[in-house]
Amino acid sequence: MSEALLQVENLTQHFPISRSYTVRAVNGVSFQIYPGETYGLVGESGSGKTTIGRSIIRLYNPTSGTVRFQGKVISGKLDGETREMLRADMQMIFQDPMASLNPRKKVEDIIGEGLDIHHRVSSRQERTQLVGELLQKVGLSPEHAARYPHQFSGGQRQRVGIARALIMNPKLIIADECISALDVSIQAQVVNLMKDIQDETHCAYLFIAHDLSMVKYISDRIGVLHLGYLVEAGTKEEIFSNPVHPYTKSLLSAIPFPNPEMEKRRHPISYNYATSGIDYSLGTEHLVGGSHTVLATDEEFRSWTS
Amino acid sequence: MSAKTILKIQNLDISFRTNAGVIHAIRGVDLDLQKGETVAIVGESGSGKSVTMKAVVGLLDSNATINSGEILYTFEDESGNDQTIDLLRISRKQLRQTINGQHIAMVFQDPMTSLDPTMPIGKQIMEGILMHRNLSRAEARARALELLHLVGITDAEKRFRNYPHQLSGGMRQRVVIAIALSADPDILICDEPTTALDVTIQARILELIKDIQEKMKLSVIYITHDLGVVAKVADYVDVMYAGKIVEVGNVNEIFYDPRHPYTWGLLSAMPDMETDDDRLYSIPGSPPNLLHEPVGDAFADRNPFALAIDKKAMPPLFKISETHYAATWLLHPDAPKIEMPESLRLRLERARKEVEKLHE
């Protein structure tokens, strides 16, 4: 395989709340993202998936661990050149399309802000034209540029968010729960759009979500997070056809199917970390086969795979 | 059918006055709820599913006008006789004092915003009990603890003094359910009860509601856009679009034999765990703006199977079976024979086969 676009090694993110209490949001997570692929991060709320995204793009300063993006370390102190590269080549789409767009700015200025900051355009016409092209690419029309965010529906607003992320031609887009706030039919539209854009621009996605069925649909590889630990990782086929970790199993069993007769008989597998006797901090990465890894102690690994 | 109808909505029609004009949000909705059963109302946001239920509990915004319709609620009074009242004909005050809570209770979507952040949860549960029942504080407290146990909060004594922010999302939703159950209602209305929660917690909350429903003989109305949830909990399904019910049937009819193109679209848009299609089906366009009254079938513009008549006349509900109706001209005897999309047909066939295997 080619050189990894993003390499996360032992990323740890702790938030000290008081002298005696620290929230350990992310504990030693490692994974890679290759150019043009989609990596899905799933887990329940509080599992640290959003924190990982925000630490990578440097909305937080990582406590320890290294993150390499296009060969450069971006987890420590950033020099000007690296910062410029990071800010342009990595973009984020946020969860709530209402809260993440400035209500006092027109769509053209929201989308074009990155161009202004990085001095990528020389004239106003050029900017208007670029924004117009991008609006078309995300399924809106250039006339929408003069409108304000509140004049759009939820799905359209998320399209504006996607256009804003795309304007810098990024190599990696972090999509943080970007479809959770949308209706089912609109979710499908946005996911299809993201796939089309990937085919065209070959950007990579870090797709953060708790909806496993959507993650399966869009991702090439998946990492399952729980309580800040990456408990299982692999290609989507490996994870879905052969889940090893009990948490992954319970997560998969909780997905409801549109088949009432089956659904009424089925009961999800329950999993409780406190009573399961598993201690994530003791586990090490075990290879199940292919690229499929699971976090376990030697003993746990033997009993889960036998 | 032996079960008796506990709630009957007939020809409900509601519009809202806004600065932009009059929005005709509900355009003639009929709905029946039998005692002890679960009805799910499905539809996109803006289809009017929440507004319909808000009308039932008298929580409509002040700019709403009820143009016509009745909501008949049947209950047993103290002497054991059946009484029927029209919830739209009694005053808001009367509704609050006699119906809300004691007879019809509601669970809202976001457990973050439906609890009072400045009051311990125990007190919030007791509030409703003290309001509706003639109980002493000590008795109310005992009842509140019992409710907390019922909704699966194990260390109820300790949690009693907790504030909402000290609980996780799933716990909070359990508290909201406990509050809704505090005055022994007959009908529980759940407005997207699990949308803000994770799948694992969602599964637990749904099982909890089902459990309680059996224990307390509740009738439940779910409002949701997640068809997976519907498959799990519902007995009957009402599919709503642009303020009208476009298809209604029991859960098997809707999932194994859908007839309305909108229902086809909703089912197709769910990601399928079995196949690896490259593209997800999506219903083109977006719901109509009800500021302008749609002519003909409101779904026609987004419907790839639309006929010429869809643009001119609103389709009536066509009968498919005793319980199954759909409002689409495709079911008219003169309509051309149009089958559902191939991929959906295969998917439904596979679902049916799985069920057959299960029965063997």
Residue A187 to residue B255, Cβ atoms within 8 A: no
Angstroms from B37 CA to nearest CA on chain A: 14
Distance separating alpha carbons of residues A209 and A193, to the nearest angstrom = 17
| Whole-number average pLDDT of chain A | 90
Q: B18, B214 in Cβ contact below 8 A?
A: no
Residue A44 to residue B198, Cβ atoms within 8 A: yes
Tell me if chain A has a CB within 8 Å of the CB of B226.
yes
Angstroms from B354 CA to nearest CA on chain A: 8
- The nearest alpha carbon in chain B to A193 belongs to B279
Find residues 6-35 of chain A whose CB sits inside 8 Å of chain B: none
- The nearest alpha carbon in chain B to A156 belongs to B286
Mutation pick from A41, A210, A261, A266 vs chain B, by most beta carbons of B within 10 Å, is A261
pLDDT tens track, chain B, 360 positions: 456 899 999 999 999 998 888 989 999 999 999 999 999 999 887 788 889 999 999 889 899 999 999 999 998 877 778 889 999 998 888 888 888 888 999 998 777 788 999 999 999 999 989 988 888 999 999 999 999 988 888 888 888 999 998 888 888 888 999 999 988 899 999 988 887 777 778 888 898 899 889 988 899 999 988 888 899 999 999 999 999 999 999 999 999 999 999 999 988 888 776 666 667 788 887 788 888 888 888 898 888 888 888 888 899 999 999 999 999 999 998 888 888 888 888 888 888 888 888 887
Short-list A2, A168, A181, CA closest to A92: A168
> The domain A6-305: what is its CATH number?
3.40.50.300
Residue B269 to residue A270, Cβ atoms within 8 A: no
Distance separating alpha carbons of residues A248 and A230, to the nearest angstrom = 11
CB-closest option in A153, A213, A262 to B354: A262
- Partners of B354 on chain A (C-beta within 8 Å) are 259, 262
Q: B230, B222 in Cβ contact below 8 A?
A: yes
Find residues 170-199 of chain A whose CB sits inside 8 Å of chain B: 183-189, 191-192, 195
pLDDT digit string (tens) for B76-121? 877 778 889 999 998 888 888 888 888 999 998 777 788 999 999 9
- DSSP readout, B40-88? EEE--TTSSHHHHHHHHTT---TTEEEEEEEEEEEEE-TTS-EEEEETT
Q: A225, A29 in Cβ contact below 8 A?
A: yes
Residue B228 to residue A184, Cβ atoms within 8 A: no
- Partners of A213 on chain B (C-beta within 8 Å) are 270-271, 273
Tell me if chain A has a CB within 8 Å of the CB of B242.
no
Beta-strand relationship, A64-69 and A229-235: unpaired
Ramachandran region, residue A71 (left: φ > 0; alpha: ψ -120 to 50; beta: rest): left
Tell me if chain A has a CB within 8 Å of the CB of B283.
yes
CB-closest option in A189, A212, A267 to B282: A189
Determine phi and psi for A90, rounding to 5 degrees: -125, 130
Find residues 23-52 of chain B whose CB sits inside 8 Å of chain A: 44-45
Residue B255 to residue A270, Cβ atoms within 8 A: no
Question: How much of chain B, in percent, has pLDDT values that exceed 90?
Answer: 44
**CATH superfamily of this structure's domain B240-359:** P-loop containing nucleotide triphosphate hydrolases (3.40.50.300)
- The nearest alpha carbon in chain A to B192 belongs to A183
Tell me if chain A has a CB within 8 Å of the CB of B348.
no
Angstroms from A182 CA to nearest CA on chain B: 9
Q: How many CB pairs under 8 A join A and B?
A: 120
Tell me if chain A has a CB within 8 Å of the CB of B293.
no
For chain A, the domains span 6-305
pLDDT digit string (tens) for B225-283? 888 889 999 999 999 999 999 999 999 999 999 999 999 998 888 877 666 666 778 88
For chain B, the domains span 240-359
- Alpha helices by DSSP H, listed for A57-208, are 80-89, 107-117, 124-137, 154-166, 184-201
Residue A184 to residue B227, Cβ atoms within 8 A: yes
CB-closest option in A189, A216, A260 to B273: A216
